[in-house]
Amino acid sequence: MDVGRVQEVASSLLFSGTLPSEFVRPETEQPGITTVKGQVLAVPVIDFTNPDDDSVLTAIHDASLNWGMFQIINHQIPNEVITHLQAVGKEFFELRPEEKEIYAKPSASKSVEGYGTKLEKEIDGKRGWVDHLFHIIWPPSSINYNFWPQNPPSYRVANEEYRKNLHGVVEKLFRSLSLGLGLEGHELKERVGGDELVYLLKINYYPPCPRPDLALGVPAHTDMSAVTILVPNEVQGLQAFRDGHWYDVNYIPNALVIHIGDQIEILSNGKYKSVFHRTTVNKEKTRISWPVFLEPPPEFEVGPHPKLVDEENPAKYKTKKYSEYAYCKLNKIPQ
């Protein structure tokens, strides 16, 4: 076990009302102080069944330019597929601790896969109020089933069904993002791995917290992926940074939340912006989310697309292997 599981800490604090000091954020980060109250951020909402393809493309392009974030409704992933994914994930985290520890991330592993708590270098020893489970769900050559829970028994089926339904959304997203930059529809995805693009699933489990005004589930960050596709449960928690302030993001049942990640910002040479966001927690309710990080393979090099670089628009980012980028990001080393 890397550090004490937050779920166990939460259980021990059930009636105390106090928060261990390692979870208390600095005042500049505390959501009780820094969240804009009474105002929910209405990030762009895009209807994937809109028959006007140009309208959908323009909406995705504009949202990626100006927000780095949007929500997709009518994405044609059946509600029951998402509900099943959520049910088996929730059931895993409700298992006894020793059953979950079977899937713990090995201490010497360079991969993020497995059940764990600590993900990145912690500043001043401050911890996020979250436990997680990571495992790759695509491509088949990258999957390690040792990190897929065997209990609940339908865990694998639920995840495979979700992945199968996700492919169409992924293709449409990358095609739209690519065309929006004036590239051919296939070019952007090819530059982050093409058919070897990795789908890394994470389950974030945020148990009830006695002082949600002082803690954060996940501190402020941008995703290092190319694109993130996130399914939340119904408990509010996602916040985005906009015009110098933190806002709750509006929750839409059955919508997919899309984050532009660092690799698309790099590929677009800064035209598309990766979204700065964080997660808050709740005093009474457990929040759970299921992001899928669409990532280049570890040895794949990503840099500004050559067609988007010229004398007037020189490259703003280095070209480097994704594994090197990820190492620097997780260890708080400048890129």
What region does 124 belong to: left with phi over 0, alpha with psi -120 to 50, or beta? left
- Candidate list 84, 172, 202, 305, residue with the active-site label: 202
Active-site residue, 172 included: no
- Residue pair 181/305 in contact (Cβ under 8 Å)? The answer is yes
- Give the torsion through C-alpha atoms of 210, 211, 212, 213, to 10 deg: 160
Active-site residue, 277 included: yes
**Own/partner long-range contacts of 25-33 (Cβ < 8 Å, ≥24 apart):** 25/126, 25/214, 25/215, 25/216, 25/219, 26/124, 26/126, 29/216, 29/219, 29/220, 30/213, 30/214, 31/212, 31/213, 31/215, 31/216, 31/239, 31/246, 31/280, 32/212, 32/213, 32/214, 33/213
- Candidate list 221, 316, 320, 321, residue with the active-site label: 221
Q: Please, which residues bridge with residue 331 across strands?
A: none
Give CA–CA dist 35/32, Å, rounded: 6
Active-site residue, 118 included: no
- Residue pair 250/42 in contact (Cβ under 8 Å)? The answer is yes
Q: Is 205 helix (H, G, I), strand (E, B) or coil?
A: strand
- Candidate list 223, 262, 271, 305, residue with the active-site label: 223
- Give the torsion through C-alpha atoms of 9, 13, 17, 19, to 10 deg: -20
Taking alpha carbons only, the member of 71, 64, 67, 65 closest to residue 46 is 71
What single-letter DSSP state applies at residue 22? G
Cα–Cα distances (Å) from 208 to 12, 100, 124, 130, 167, in that order, read: 11, 19, 24, 10, 33
Give CA–CA dist 265/197, Å, rounded: 17
Taking alpha carbons only, the member of 203, 6, 193 closest to residue 91 is 203
Q: Which amino acid appears at position 299 of this protein? A: E
Active-site residue, 221 included: yes
Residues noted as catalytic: 202, 221, 223, 277
